[in-house]
Amino acid sequence: MTPHLPFTRPSIDEATIAGVAEVLRSGWITSGPQVKAFEAELSRLCGGRAVRSFNSGTAALEVGLRLAGVRAGDEVITTPLSWVATANVVLEVGARPVFVDVDPRTRNIDLERVEAAITPATRAIIPVDLAGLPVDRDRLYEIAERHRLRVLEDAAQSFGASWRGRTLGSFGDLVAFSFHANKNVTCAEGGAIVLPGPDLVPLCEKLRLQGVTRSGEDGMEVDVLGGKFNLTDVAARIGLGQLPRLAEFTARRRALARAYFERWDASLDCELPPQDFEDSNWHMFQVLLPQRVERARFIAAMREAGIGVGVHYPAMHLFSLYRALGWRAGDFPHAERVGRGIVTLPLFPAMTDADVARVCEAAARVLA
Ligand SMILES: *Cc1c(COP(=O)(O)O)cnc(C)c1O
């Protein structure tokens, strides 16, 4: 019996495990020197811009909205095809998410439809780079500048990806990353935000931890309501062990994606992702099943064959929380169709080319 192949698995090396043990023995396990070092390394990767870490990508997004001045009554434009955190944070700050359908080819927000969704209440856009495929940053910022909108890039899945040769996070407005266990680089749980300027650092730090500012030996002041979003040194040490391997991870993911394209049987009638080997970090390799195939049966049959398959994601405007706010089936036909048929096939750096062949053969058998 061949071992079960999950759809993803983190690559944590022994040096990182030893480093975490050292942190645990050090007597300082929550935010401290490891967090500082992790943020410095992230800043270096983002062209020297100010970066602050969080205990999740969701927290980074929520603080990003607050830093952008998004408040009750504002509207925020985003995609219906993302992890639900993307829209939940908009509700969390009291604003209203306004969904715009996706481009069925990229599965990302269709920028050609964004301007029609802008109203006097629109304050920001949250683009999502689904599966690590970057949203067109030139067109995005052109629209944002013309309408004076803030941009909060949900780059949770696209850490290490780039746009026309520029690393995501090294340019743009606010950029949020996630270091959840399934992301390309992980802290187990964690996140970060890249700030458009260093002037936002003090407010960002206050919003991260109870609104507190310390001064001198004993000074403490609270002038704004902050959350409890700080990263621990234990988690930051995991991330510090991952960052030097980012280039290796991304290259391996690209090679595995190429192997999928080479081996996938085109006669199966599935829609494959765009073959972007320049910019995408290949966070996921997702195919759209033909409409005749029942997705749940495909997933069960693949599990029988020892292969894990994920679903990322159902269109979120159809969740009851969002239906209660007025969205209905039929509002975003492309996102709904993709959300119904999409599956995530195994893709992670420790996978072999033989694993890809095994997935392709099993899928061909199941779909036949
Ligand atoms: C993972 C993810 C998030 C949230 O990140 P967490 O670290 O899990 O809070 C937000 N948006 C997208 C697109 C994600 O994939």
Structural domain includes residue 133: yes
| Residue 7 within any structural domain of the chain | no
Amino acid making up residue 216? G
Closest protein CA for atom 5 of ligand 1: 57
- Indicate the DSSP class of residue 194: E
Which of 55, 102, 154, 231 to mutate to test ligand 1, by most ligand atoms within 8 A of the CB atom? 154
| Annotated catalytic residue, options 36, 183, 206, 228 | 183
Same domain for 265 and 235, yes or no, is no
Q: Is the pLDDT of residue 1 over 70?
A: no
Q: How far is the CA of 154 from the centre of ligand 1 (A)?
A: 8
Which of 208, 225, 244 finishes a domain? 244
Residues 280 and 292 placed together within one structural domain of the fold: yes
Q: Is residue 4 part of a domain?
A: no
Å from CA of 61 to ligand 1 middle: 9
Ligand 1 pocket, mutate which of 8, 58, 284 (most atoms under 8 A from CB)? 58
Question: Which of 191, 221, 244 is a domain's end point?
Answer: 244
Q: What is the pLDDT of residue 190?
A: 98
Domain count, the chain: 2
Average pLDDT score over residue span 191-212: 98
Q: Kindly state whether residues 49 and 181 are assigned to the same domain.
A: yes
Same domain as 200, residue 65: yes
Q: Are residues 265 and 238 in the same domain?
A: no
Domain CATH number, residue 200: 3.40.640.10
Residue 9 lies in a domain: no
pLDDT given for residue 212 in this prediction: 98
User: Is 3 within the bounds of a domain?
Assistant: no
pLDDT, one tens digit per residue, over 9-61 is: 999 999 999 999 999 999 999 999 999 999 999 999 999 999 999 999 999 99
Indicate whether 172 belongs to any domain.
yes
Q: Domain of residue 335: give its range.
A: 245-367
What the block records as the tokens of 186 is 């992980």
Question: What's residue 130's pLDDT?
Answer: 98
Residues linked to residue 52 through DSSP beta bridges, in sequence order: 193
For residue 368, which amino acid is it? A
Predicted confidence at residue 336, as pLDDT, reads: 98
Q: Are residues 186 and 250 in the same domain?
A: no
166 lies in a domain?
Answer: yes
Average pLDDT, the chain: 97
- pLDDT confidence of residue 2: 75
CA 25 to ligand 1 centroid distance, Å: 30
Ligand 1 centroid from CA 84, angstroms: 8
- CB within 8 A of 36, min separation 6: which ones? none
Shared-domain flag, residues 274 and 184:
no
User: Which of 210, 244, 278 is where one domain is finished?
Assistant: 244
Residue with tokens 């759209």: 288
The verdict on residue 8 lying in a domain is: no
Residues with beta carbon inside 6 Å of ligand 1? 56-58, 82-83, 85-86, 128, 154, 156-157, 178, 180, 191
The answer to whether residues 182 and 294 belong to one domain is no
Position 174 scores a pLDDT of: 98
Percent of the chain exceeding pLDDT 70 equals 100
Domain shared by 229 and 357, yes or no: no
Q: Looking at the structure, do residues 154 and 40 belong to the same domain, yes or no?
A: yes
Cβ distance 256 to 347 under 8 Å?
yes
Mean pLDDT of 177-182: 98
**Per-residue confidence (pLDDT) for residue 3, from 0 to 100:** 84
Q: Name the one residue in this structure whose structure tokens are 């119904």.
A: 340
Say which CATH number the domain at 271 has. Answer: 3.90.1150.10
Q: Is the Cβ–Cβ distance between 70 and 124 less than 8 Å?
A: yes
State mean pLDDT over 255-269.
96
Question: Looking at 161-274, which runs of residues are DSSP E strands?
Answer: 162-163, 166-167, 174-178, 191-194, 212-215, 219-222
183 carries an active-site annotation: yes
**Whether residues 48 and 190 fall in one domain:** yes
Measured from the Cα of 312, ligand 1's closest atom is: 15
Q: What pTM value is reported for the model?
A: 0.98
Copy the structure tokens of residue 348: 């992670």
With cut-offs at 50, 70 and 90, classify the pLDDT of residue 209. very high
Is residue 41 located within the same domain as residue 154?
yes
What is the DSSP code string of 265-296? -GGG-PBPPP---SS---S-EEEEPPTTS-HH
